[in-house]
Structure 1
């Protein structure tokens, strides 16, 4: 009887165990099916549009808000996700570095683009970030020996191509070559930039193609560029309503050649003769109209957003930078440029709605850096600021090496707020390079315009977790940067006393807009701090693809649906 009872008990337990296993198997199967369904139903946007506005301060969104229409910046701000406290987290804040950091999701420490130009210490010469003699110009005689090969990491555009087994199209466009080439990445189908002078054409490089597509030639031959230079640039609204900026003709702006006063109106048909012919188009507000025209032509010519794969169009508006450099942050010219850019954005977004379709595209808008107010203007308001005299600084540095080491040959180069030491001479004099570095670091702080100084060896041995030295460290690349780095005083620039510039780690150069808009993004706003390097990983999360291979940024989860 006991044996029978034991047999029944064991049989019951085995049945229950089998039932549990069946239930468990069903649960796992259901979960796997759910994951599979999610993957199978993954819907990426048909087109990603990245818009970078060159030299746009965040406060332009607020300062000129009541001058904007409803369909440009206001539409993006109200219907997209507006991040109000986004900063570049490195030095230097230059165009090439900004575009690269946005698209790679990391800083110069990893991606290697440490400036627009820099001193290459191994080749002992200045180089330009996208110059590449391995390739030839496409579309004209010169200006196209370019490629992104000095960029050491992948971009979000590269990762999208890799994720789709090289399907889908990636195209970068801008008036500036570096602003088209670096965002488009290493795997781009094309990058196009504007060749001024007597050409007046969008061109490319054999890195991408052997001949320009028919649609590009058609655009170049359409006479659009020439038509803009037959216009007069006057204010969009009555200049008396431009109360957000200082007087039109002032001492803080640089006039165009052939015009005595830096003031409206500008007869471009007359000015082009003494201002580089088609180069003048880069430097006026109509350059942004022209860029918008070409962006629309690119979408039509390449059928972007029409295939089963996701395409990526990287657009950079450069004319705002040229205008800012010439006339300054507080000029009527800058105000009018943003009023007109707002109209360009409205036109472009409506075009995307029609040609790609609402719900089929995602867009982000940001800037590659901001800009300082003209120091000579700030000085009239008793605000500290000034100008860094490079010649006086060089003489000061040589005086220190003469005093401490009895030589004026220890400095090989001074550029981009970095000192490159002459290693051969230091070795020949049997000097300790660490001592040379430290002596100069200690003495540089005595130069009136220097705020901070630090050696490369300190950068390699110390981790700075906050402040200006952290941003300096994020911009330091052991392979390419100098032996001593220094930071000028706030609002102190190496520039003329007219016009604005940029490059520092101070908030006037680092604080930029960032708006995500379209498919996959929420509506909303946030004042939470985010570094600019968070854009690329956020796009990777949206697209469900791998992040760029040097990424140090993080996904901004609050913007994603």
Structure 2
């Protein structure tokens, strides 16, 4: 027996090292399972990016008991819910929001610093998606003169197109042009938006095509929008909408011709006085029409029908129009979300049928949140109010005249930023940083202004948290202004009816982020996530390059 001991010992070590080597190949150095070749090849047939315009996070929880099982609840219960998701920049508005979601970065990098902004070189105001080099397709109006040229970096949709050698399709859809153009990126096969007025058609731009494809012309010819020329009645009994305020209250706007902001809203009667098909926008029917068109695109473009991943970007814009019109505490906003829940269920069923449940991946988020109507907050004894900019401008103009001998030292005020005339500053032999600082000190004495920062501070400092961090992420060194103003929480520059957004305050930054489908874990997190994390998370899932300006990070908890 002892003679065989060396052989037994050798056999033991051989088996140990063979087993250990095999095990090591399956485990990484930190003990986690190593990636296999088959895992590297997993690809969803279709990615569906959904942006709900002006959706606060608490719309998920507030209306939860009214939702069905196939819409929001399907995403939450079977997908991954990032409960503490925020915009990490301001202004929190539609153009920057859509750009940030799809580029994986902030306005400081992608350059979309507002829906509109003052362009220093031309001394004019520009729109985030406008481009006069192109013309409309599908209408004779100028509403189609659009392209993504003002965006400075690539999108997740661009990177997917590049990765697939342009074989994977990208189709982007929204009522708003900017809600389609910016998500589609530079390489989209098509971006479509809605032209209302007397037409009620989906249109595009010669940036993408010279004529609409047959499925779009067929959709427009079917008078699909015409079916929504009907009264807007509540989906459920109004007395069941206990999560919202009174139906008749002074905090809501009226359609032209209405006597009270109450259900039902008689769209056929109000049609002519409210720009005809445009009245669909501030009703839930605009979202339903968007879902109709998205389902038509699914079939018309044969999305998700092969092994090459396609991308469908859909933005539901009517939630924003309704929020601006009625406010976040209105029965109209509740009804709009209950109807959107049904439209989402309809969209998901269409995806199940056309693409196959478990073969596509969805993310859903928002482009910004919204404040409750300040007039309503005041009525509840909460600190809130309205900034009287006209009075401020007069007082500030007097300060400028007295201090510098001219009001013209300020060329523009927009997006809560003052733009200075640098030529005048130089001609007066003034130090730009000191001028900015002196103006900031003056503005801090005005009622309603909470904080003021200067362009020099934005360029020279590195903020890592709080309001200055949010402002800096929204500050583009070539495009942004010289003095940045932050209003007190609860203060807005807006009318006394309806809700608005745009600030760095938490009610504008806290929005949903849900993932669902192929490659997505089931669960939730209360760890902070940020909007620029979405694109790198999806890029990691797809195994493609991050958009070239990415500053966000993949959310590891989300991915299987």
Give the TM-score band, short-chain normalised: over 0.9
Q: Which residue of 2 aligns with 1:10?
A: none
Give the superposition deviation at 1:391: 1.4
Residue 40 of structure 1, CA deviation: 8.6
Question: Which residue does 1:158 correspond to in 2?
Answer: 158
Secondary structure at 2:187's aligned position in 1? coil
Is the contact between residue 398 and residue 411 of structure 1 (CA under 8 Å) also seen in structure 2? no
Q: Name the SS for the 1:324 alignment partner.
A: helix
**1:145: which partner in 2?**
145
Q: Find the counterpart in structure 2 of residue 496 from structure 1.
A: 495
Structure 1 residues 499 and 41: alpha-carbon distance in aligned structure 2, compared to 1, 3 A threshold: closer
Give a deviation string over 1:229-273, Cα, whole Å, max 9, x none: 1x1111000111111111001000001001110000011111111
Give the distance between the partners of 2:489 and 2:556, measured in 1 at CA: 34
User: For 1:233, what is the secondary structure of its paired residue?
Assistant: coil
Q: Structure 1: how far apart are the matches of 2:170 and 2:57?
A: 28
Q: Do the aligned residues in 1 keep the contact of 2:388 with 2:493 (CA within 8 Å)? A: yes
2:438 counterpart of 1:439:
yes
Report the equivalent of 1:120.
119
Deviation, 1:394, is 1.6
Matches within 5 A, 1:24-103: 38=37, 42-103=41-102
Alignment of 1:173 onto 2:173 = yes
Deviation at 1:427, TM superposition (A): 2.3
Provide runs of 4+ in structure 1 moved above 6 Å: 34-37
Secondary structure in 1 matching 2:521: coil
The aligned counterpart of 2:6 is: none
Which runs of no fewer than 5 residues in structure 2 stay unpaired? 1-13, 27-32
**Is 1:478 the counterpart of 2:477 in the alignment?**
yes
Q: Secondary structure at the match of 2:192?
A: strand
Q: Measured at CA, do residues 408 and 357 of structure 1 come closer, stay the same or move farther in structure 2, by a change above 3 Å?
A: same
Where 2:304 maps in the other structure, the secondary structure is coil
- Match of residue 9 from structure 1: none
Preserved contact between residue 110 and residue 550 of structure 1 (Cα < 8 Å): yes
Q: What are the equivalent positions in structure 2 for 1:293-308 lying under 5 Å apart?
A: 293-308=292-307
Q: Is the Cα–Cα contact under 8 Å of residues 43 and 307 in structure 2 kept in the other structure?
A: no
Instruction: Please state how far the C-alpha of 1:36 moved relative to its aligned partner.
Output: 10
Alignment of 1:323-342 (within 5 A): 323-342=322-341
3-state SS of 2:300 partner = helix
Larger Rg: 1
> Map of 1:189-200 to 2, 5 A cutoff?
189-200=189-200
Does the Cα contact within 8 Å between 1:168 and 1:307 map onto a contact in 2?
Answer: no
**Residue matched to 2:506:** 507
Matches within 5 A, 1:399-410: 399-410=398-409
Q: CA deviation at 1:396?
A: 2.4
**Alpha-carbon distance in 1 for matches of 2:249, 2:332:** 12
Label 1:387 to 1:528 Cα distance change in 2 as closer, same or farther (>3 A): same
- Cα 1:342–1:40 change in 2 (3 A) is closer
- Show the 5 A alignment for 1:133-282: 133-142=132-141, 143-229=143-229, 231-282=230-281
- Is the 8 Å Cα contact of residues 82 and 516 (structure 1) preserved in structure 2? yes
Contact persistence 1:158–1:188 (CA under 8 A): yes
Structure 1 residue runs of 5 or longer lacking an equivalent are 1-18
The whole-number CA distance in structure 2 between the counterparts of 1:240 and 1:154 is 48
Taking the aligned partners of 2:117 and 2:490, their CA distance within structure 1 comes to: 22
Which residue does the alignment assign to 1:11? Answer: none
What is the CA-CA distance between 1:367 and the residue it aligns to?
A: 0.5
The Cα of 1:35 is off from its aligned counterpart by 9.4
Secondary structure of residue in 2 paired with 1:434: helix
Aligned-pair CA distance for 1:308: 2.4
Q: 1:301 to 1:272 in 2, by over 3 A?
A: same
The alignment's TM-score, normalised by the length of structure 2, stands at 0.93
Instruction: Summarize the Cα distance change of 1:41–1:462 in structure 2 as closer, same or farther, 3 Å threshold.
Output: closer
Aligned residue in 1 for 2:9: none
SS in structure 1 at match of 2:186: coil
Judge conservation of contact 1:169–1:189 (CA < 8 Å) in 2: yes
How far apart, in 2, do the equivalents of 1:157 and 1:105 lie?
A: 11
What is residue 487 of structure 1 aligned with on the other side? 486
Aligned-residue Cα RMSD (Å) equals 2.0
> Structure 1 length normalisation: TM-score?
0.93
Q: Following TM superposition, by how much is the alpha carbon of 1:75 offset from its aligned partner in structure 2, in angstroms? A: 1.1
CA contact (8 A) 2:138 2:212 kept: yes
Residues 1:38 and 1:397: Cα distance change in structure 2 (over 3 Å): same
Contact 1:394 1:414 (C-alpha < 8 Å) held by counterparts: no
Residue aligned with 2:355, SS: helix
Give me the whole-angstrom Cα distance separating, in 1, the residues matched to 2:169 and 2:437.
Answer: 50
For residue 457 of structure 1, report the CA deviation from its aligned partner: 1.0
**Within 1, Cα distance between the matches of 2:184 and 2:348?**
21
Give per-residue Cα distances to partners, 1:171-205, cap 9 Å, x unaligned: 10000000001011111000000001111100000
Counterpart Cα distance in 1 of 2:490 and 2:453:
20
Change (3 A) 1:40 1:77: closer
Alignment partner, residue 8 of structure 2:
none
**Cα displacement string for residues 254-303 of structure 1 (whole angstroms, at most 9, x for unaligned residues):** 01001110000011111111111011111111111100000000000000
Q: Distance in 2 between matches of 1:149 and 1:478?
A: 18
Residue 41 of structure 1, CA deviation: 6.0
Judged with a 3 Å threshold, the aligned counterparts in structure 2 of structure 1 residues 502 and 37 are, in CA distance, closer, same or farther, namely closer
- 1:391 matches 2:368: no
What is the correspondence of 1:362-381 to structure 2 with a 5 Å cutoff? 362-381=361-380
CA distance in 2: counterparts of 1:435 and 1:65, whole angstroms: 52
Mean Cα deviation higher: 162-171 or 369-378: 162-171
Q: Kindly provide the CA deviation profile for residues 46-103 of structure 1, in whole angstroms up to 9, marking residues without a partner as x.
A: 0000000000000011100111111111111100111111000001000011111011
SS of 2:469's partner is: helix
* Alignment match, 1:516: 515
Deviations 1:305-329 (A, max 9, x none): 0022100000000000000000000
Matching residue of 2:314: 315
Number of the residue aligned with 2:30: none
For residues 169 and 55 of structure 2, the distance between their equivalents in structure 1, rounded to whole angstroms, comes to 28
Q: Say which SS state the counterpart of residue 357 (structure 1) adopts.
A: coil
